[in-house]
Amino acid sequence: MKFSWTMMIPALAACAALCSCASNNDAEAPSQPVSTATTSVVPSKLAAPALPAGQRAITLDPCLDIDDSILQSVGLDPGSKKRVDSVGDPNSYFSCDLDSPLVYVTLVSDNQAFDEMRANDHQSRAARNLPPATDTAINGRDVFVGMNRIHQSACTVTLRTGFGFSAVDVSPTLAAEREAGFDACTEATRIATALEPSLPKGD
């Protein structure tokens, strides 16, 4: 499974100028003001789906709102982004997959409440006899860290946000599995620490 944030958004600039017109006496009319509009165009393959009416807005899109330079700083390839979203009831999430030579990363933003997600995670791990996740903090933000409940070679860091939670899920590539000392949770925490400042302020 993959998880992470960033992308290049191509931009198109549109400039409209109002032309001055001549009067019936061929006199030059006063020049009109010029207005300029700039529009950011989102590639259709990365465009986010609309959320159902009444659902809490997800204010961090992991495919669109993380700067490419931040993704590159942790070794992720912004050009590898792929959306895997889920719109449902009562909750939805936006998800973005990214690659690097050593890991596959999935970045998630979900409007389920963090405390509810934490309780569900604890219950699911107990039912499967899996080790509990560890409660900690990154840059003062509440998080919990644990091996992925389905793929035990992967690790997930879940961060509290005002809209619910964000998560960083890291799975090793074959190259990483051959690398002595590689630890998925250490890598997930490293990436989450770099991405945390991109989460909406006040969350």
Q: Is the dihedral of CA 39, 45, 48, 52 positive or negative?
A: positive
CA distance 1 to 151: 8
Quick check: 108 and 43 in contact, CB under 8 A? no
Instruction: Give the amino acid at 33.
Output: P
CA distance 148 to 136: 17
Structure token pair of residue 88: 């449902």
Give the pLDDT confidence of 27-78 residue by residue, as tens digits: 444 444 444 444 456 687 888 999 999 999 999 999 999 999 999 999 999 9
Give the pLDDT confidence of 71-125 residue by residue, as tens digits: 999 999 999 999 999 999 999 999 999 999 889 999 999 999 999 999 999 999 9
